[in-house]
């Protein structure tokens, strides 16, 4: 049956928000209503007639409300097949009404867990009857229309009124798909709450944003997740796949500096090409830009402070794809909006997932994110000479940048400014040469600068090259069986070297 008139509806919802207009639409079409508990009372209070499910089944709600609708007279009315004579005969024999519409939501399990509820409170929010009703109605979409989300009420009312109280098979099937998503997402949330077994992985993400394309125009791309929970877009074109990757890199990098002095970063292809910490945000931007004004073209910019007009004026001279900040002064925002395609984002919070996932071969790799930030207390001086306070500050600064740069990497810094980095090289020596050459090309004096490495030095060659370039202090994880070679060379040249004991590979 392609088109079907709704004559009876079963309604049982925890959240009554938006329900009244839907009830009125059904009443206007003469639909018989069946309901339970609080929903039944809600409908009666609106002044409408409603049949109690208890009267239909002959059983009251029992076990403190745990069992209300689990009865053949309810599920028979949902699962019957209108074109099956045997089903129809049994409905008549057992006096079971045929339901054409089922409106059911689920107990707020995820919200209860997020609210730090007790174990017993969480268990009581595991819905049994509701999820069974949703699955039954969705399974029988040929005959039954299922609404499982209050966000769909308005859409249903529009469809319902435009078809004079009838529903199409196409619409019933579309809403069934949504219902199966609702039930599977709910079960996944319950499983993930109780699951402590690392051998199983279940994911369910409700929000999806279809992108213009993927990494390249011939690839399709979709972002799954609620981006608006983290970022608010206040201006600009649609965010692309590559924009999202750069934004992700920028937000994670700036999380290392979120609560400190004004900091500004410029990223390109997921790596920082400029970064600086200063007392004034405008100075931080200008010094970040000086790190690589060529790569900054078309880059992603991020600030840890509200962007003022003077900083915005400096930014406005640069073509950039994205600007991210916790806020903008009114005049600053108006100026930045003058470029119609410039994506302007407000970062709402600094809460990021604790796990990272990526596809690998025919599966998925899951790991804890690298949440370790090297601090002064982590540093172990390996050489006779220790770092000065100024060098310690720069070493930690460089280490933070190194952690968020593609391996193999070397980061060179001085006065809390990124001078240059070698990124994604197959050897650490190549990364160092790349960083030195880049710094010199942009006119930086490496005398008194520091070097950070994401992993240990198996040979002293990097330390030798760094010293010849004027670098005085080195931070690295340590741990090589040949650490002493690098230590000996540093001692001979009156350099200082500190170990952190933590490797920061980023592939």
Tokens of 331: 């005049």
- φ/ψ of 133, rounded to 5, equals -65, -40
- φ/ψ of 443, rounded to 5, equals 80, 20
Active site residue 252: no
The alpha carbon dihedral of 263, 267, 270, 271 has a sign of: negative
Angle between helical axes of 129-139 and 72-79 (0-180°, round to 10): 30
| CA 273/CA 267 separation, integer angstroms | 5
**349-380 CB burial, b ≥16 within 10 A, e <16:** eeeeeeeeeeeeeeeeeeeeeeeeebeeebbe
3-state DSSP assignment of residue 361: coil
| CA 396/CA 373 separation, integer angstroms | 9
Q: Per the residue annotation, which of 16, 125, 139, 337 is the catalytic one? A: 139
The alpha carbon dihedral of 439, 440, 445, 446 has a sign of: positive
Nearest of 440, 392, 391 to residue 419 by alpha carbon: 440
Q: How many CA atoms lie within 13 A of 242 on its CB side?
A: 13
| CA 415/CA 400 separation, integer angstroms | 14
3-state DSSP assignment of residue 51: strand
Tokens of 21: 């207009």
Q: Which residues contact 194 (CB under 8 A, 6 or more apart)?
A: none
- φ/ψ of 177, rounded to 5, equals -60, -45
Active site residue 139: yes
- φ/ψ of 339, rounded to 5, equals -90, 110
Beta bridge pairs of residue 307 = 328
The Cα angle at residue 260 between residues 254 and 265, in degrees rounded to 5: 35
Query: 225 near 206, Cβ under 8 Å?
Result: no
3-state DSSP assignment of residue 507: coil
| CA 306/CA 461 separation, integer angstroms | 43
Residue located via tokens 């925002």: 333
Q: Per the residue annotation, which of 181, 269, 316, 337 is the catalytic one? A: 269
Beta bridge pairs of residue 172 = none
| CA 121/CA 113 separation, integer angstroms | 9
Catalytic residue ranges: 139, 269
């Amino acid at each position: 049956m392609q088109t079907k008139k709704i004559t009876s509806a079963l309604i049982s919802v925890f959240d009554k928000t938006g329900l009244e207009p839907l009830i009125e639409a059904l009443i206007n079409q003469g639909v018989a209503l069946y309901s339970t508990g609080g929903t039944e009372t809600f409908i009666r209070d609106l002044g409408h007639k409603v049949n109690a499910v208890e009267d239909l089944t002959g059983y009251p709600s029992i076990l403190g409300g745990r069992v209300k609708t689990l009865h053949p007279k309810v599920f028979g009315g949902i699962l019957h097949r209108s074109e099956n004579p045997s089903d129809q005969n049994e409905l008549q024999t057992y006096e079971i009404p045929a339901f054409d519409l089922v409106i059911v939501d689920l107990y707020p399990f995820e919200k209860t867990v997020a609210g730090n509820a007790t174990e017993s409170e969480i268990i009581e929010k595991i819905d049994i009857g509701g999820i069974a009703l949703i699955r039954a109605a969705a399974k029988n979409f040929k005959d039954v229309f299922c609404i499982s989300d209050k966000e769909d009420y308005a859409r249903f009312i529009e469809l319902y009124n435009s078809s004079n109280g009838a529903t199409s098979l196409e619409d019933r099937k579309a809403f069934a798909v949504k219902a199966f998503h609702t039930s599977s997402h709910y079960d996944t949330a319950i499983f993930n709450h109780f699951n402590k077994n690392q051998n199983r992985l279940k994911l369910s993400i409700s929000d999806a944003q279809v992108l213009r394309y993927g990494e390249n125009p011939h690839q399709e791309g979709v972002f799954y997740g609620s981006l608006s929970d983290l970022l608010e877009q206040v201006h600009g074109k649609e965010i692309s796949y590559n924009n999202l990757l750069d934004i992700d890199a920028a937000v994670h990098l700036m999380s290392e500096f979120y609560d400190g002095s004004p900091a500004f970063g410029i990223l390109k292809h997921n790596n920082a090409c400029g970064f600086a910490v200063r007392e004034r945000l405008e100075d931080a931007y200008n010094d970040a830009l000086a790190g690589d004004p060529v790569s900054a073209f078309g880059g992603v910019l991020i600030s840890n402070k509200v962007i003022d007009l003077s900083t915005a004026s400096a930014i406005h001279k640069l073509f950039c794809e994205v600007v991210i900040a916790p806020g903008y002064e009114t005049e600053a925002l108006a100026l930045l909006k003058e470029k119609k395609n410039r994506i302007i984002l407000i970062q709402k919070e600094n809460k990021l997932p604790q796990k990272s996932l990526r596809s690998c071969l025919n599966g998925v790799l899951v790991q804890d994110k690298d949440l370790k930030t090297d601090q002064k207390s982590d540093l172990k001086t390996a050489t006779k000479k220790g770092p000065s306070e100024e060098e310690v500050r720069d070493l930690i600064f460089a280490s933070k940048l190194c952690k968020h740069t593609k391996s193999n990497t070397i980061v060179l810094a001085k006065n809390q400014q990124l001078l240059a980095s070698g990124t994604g090289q197959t050897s650490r020596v190549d990364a160092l040469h790349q960083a030195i050459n880049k710094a010199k090309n942009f006119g930086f004096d490496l005398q008194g600068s520091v070097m950070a490495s994401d992993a240990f030095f198996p040979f002293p060659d990097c330390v030798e090259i760094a010293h010849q370039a004027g670098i005085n202090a080195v931070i690295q994880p340590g741990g090589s069986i040949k650490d002493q070679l690098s230590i000996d060379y540093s001692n001979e040249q009156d350099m200082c070297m500190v170990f952190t004991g933590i490797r920061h590979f980023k592939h």
